[in-house]
Structure 1
Amino acid sequence: MTTASTSFPAGLPHLVASLRHHRGLIRQLVRQEIVGRYRGSFMGLAWSLLTPILMLLIYTFVFSVVFGARWGGLPQGGKAAFAVVLFAGMAVFNVFADVVVRAPTLVVANANYVKRVVFPLEVLPVVQMGNALFHFGVSLLAWLVAAWLVLGGVPWTAWLLPLVLGPLVLGTLGLAWLLASLGVFVRDLAQTVGLLVTALLFLTPIFYPLEAIPPEYRAWFGLNPLAHVVEQARALLIAGEVPGAGELALAWVVGVLAMWLGFAWFQKTRKGFADVL
């Protein structure tokens, strides 16, 4: 049983060792999370592909048909090309959103694990990230087919996508550990985070290019890390452009630092979880 005097190591070496030691448990929980999400539904895992496609069609209709939005610089024009660009940005954003939205309730929803010292609570955000990456992979497969049909191919730089996605994964995990801890003590956090993620969806250049923002506001949008990730991912997937080495190196440093700070906070505060739950 966890006591007030229980101490949990918060260093990066411990994190790496814990994830390595519990990799079998993580795989099992990720599999259960994915299967359980669609258990009992008629379409089953097909919803993991149909849901983003249906949302994509809705967003494409609203922004390209109703509002008349256009995306310059594409090899081919039209609403189909707009949909391909939009889908790429949405798929990357959802890696962040799927984890962060559920993070505040992770520990609360698994309260039965809290008093079991042998259960590694730190793997819960990692399981959510595994679930998010699975759905990202499904969306990416659909995007590749659409890009070949609409744009006529995919540049070789698409293979470099993990270089851009990696810092996002690390930083999101750090934020998830922070929110999972705070969600135990502040129960309204889940609703607040949901609203903020929805706001970020429209404040991130997903439905429009960064160049479409008036110059006087562009610097403020640049403070959003997701804006850089989405722009870099689209550059790799569509434009065939590789971000600068310095920019990528900085992103990885920030991602690792954010991951460590979030994990350290989680480890330092988890000894109080049992008292609240």
Structure 2
Amino acid sequence: MNLNFTWIELVRKGVFLVKTVGLVIAMFHSAFGQSKGPETLKVMSYNIRIASPPSKGWGYTDLPATAEVINRVKPDLVALQEVDAFTDRSGKGVDQARELGTRTGLYYHFAKAIDRSNGDYGVAILSRFPIIKAESYRLSVVSGHPEAEVRAVAAVTVKTPLGKLVFLSAHLDHLSDQDRAHQIGQLNEILRKYRTLPVILGADLNTTPSNPVINGLIRYLEKPCTDCEWTFPADRPNRTLDYLMLSKKASRQFKRLTYATVNETYASDHLPLMMELSLN
């Protein structure tokens, strides 16, 4: 019996076995997501124009088109502005936030700003995560302008893969810097209330990044950009009105991976705005 030959063969078989086991383990890890990249969070801000496509004119609504936009990009959190509930113009039996939640499979929260068309008008939030807490606020006006509008803020607390946070949807007055500045002051008080948690704001601020009035928000929020992508009007954008902003606490905790508009010109007169985040 050649003992040296037997020993060499055993060593070779042992090496082969180790390599085989290593390959199986690597395949197992890959199959069960061990090589998966870091968790991310996708957030959207979208002024939906009460789901009334500009090309169709007021009085025509197309909620399926709005839902399709959201389903296409699959955000985890959505801040919606210009949302109707039970109005004559959008359908007396239609709660747009609830309907969009159903069509997208997301939780929802609606915050009323004013009475409109024999129903309610305001902002809303859609969330892929169960809503731990939901709150609603109103932003008053002071200008005395007959068409100045009280606006709303919706707030939800959710637990995400990046941790627990507060997500806000807001819409500011469209007529005057005086009312926008006043509403920003009220928004700051809301932000102060949530200062112990990271906060993300999705908003139609109805003003451009170069307007000094927007600087009133930097007490609690970081400006996302100075040369921001244009968001309005959707078919031929020429200015920025819509934003996704992080609180100072959130900007320390999260890294912004992307910040861009979605190419969608039919469903609304605003472009959807998307941001993707990861942990720092």
Q: TM-score, normalised by structure 1?
A: 0.23
Q: TM-score, normalised by structure 2?
A: 0.23
Structure with the higher fraction of residues in helix conformation:
1
Which of the two has higher C-alpha Rg?
2
